[in-house]
Amino acid sequence: LEEYDDLFDSIDEERAWGLESLELLANYFTIEDPRSFDPLDRELDMLEDLDGIVIRGILDRMEETADGRLVITDYKTGKAPPERYALPAFFALKIYALLIRRRTGRTPDAVKL
């Protein structure tokens, strides 16, 4: 496809990108089987005004478990993030949980990275 010809400077760069993409995909399938859940929403645009403060983000997944629990998930690169990144990511998930509660009236029962 000609429209993608300028994405990479060399065939080696393109190959490296492809191999990294395959590794990320393999990591995802190691963590979970996408056939094992039916999310309520994916890539949910979270744009809300909280008393004059505009919050924007993309929530990767929201699902309801078989026992009725509401769970929100933020994907990373397919492996657990280093601790220095995990705390800010969990903070963002708490903000998403607040926004979900404002939108749906339900507080998520769990948040996952």
Domain count, the chain: 2
For the record, the structure tokens of 76 come out as 């990373």
Same domain, 56 and 76: yes
d(CA 93, CA 113): 8
d(CA 21, CA 15): 10
- Determine the 3-state secondary structure of 100 from DSSP: helix
Structure confidence at residue 79 (pLDDT): 57
Query: Residue 51 carries which DSSP code?
Result: T
Same domain, 26 and 76: no
Same domain, 61 and 7: no
- Provide the pLDDT confidence category of residue 43 given band limits of 50, 70 and 90: confident
Same domain, 22 and 67: no
Same domain, 106 and 53: yes
Same domain, 51 and 99: yes
- Provide the pLDDT confidence category of residue 33 given band limits of 50, 70 and 90: low
Domain enclosing residue 7, as ranges? 2-31
Same domain, 76 and 49: yes
Q: Which percentage of the chain shows pLDDT scores above 90?
A: 26
Least confident range of 17-21, 73-77, 82-86: 82-86
d(CA 58, CA 43): 6
Same domain, 46 and 91: yes
Q: What is the pTM of this model?
A: 0.61
Structure confidence at residue 73 (pLDDT): 87
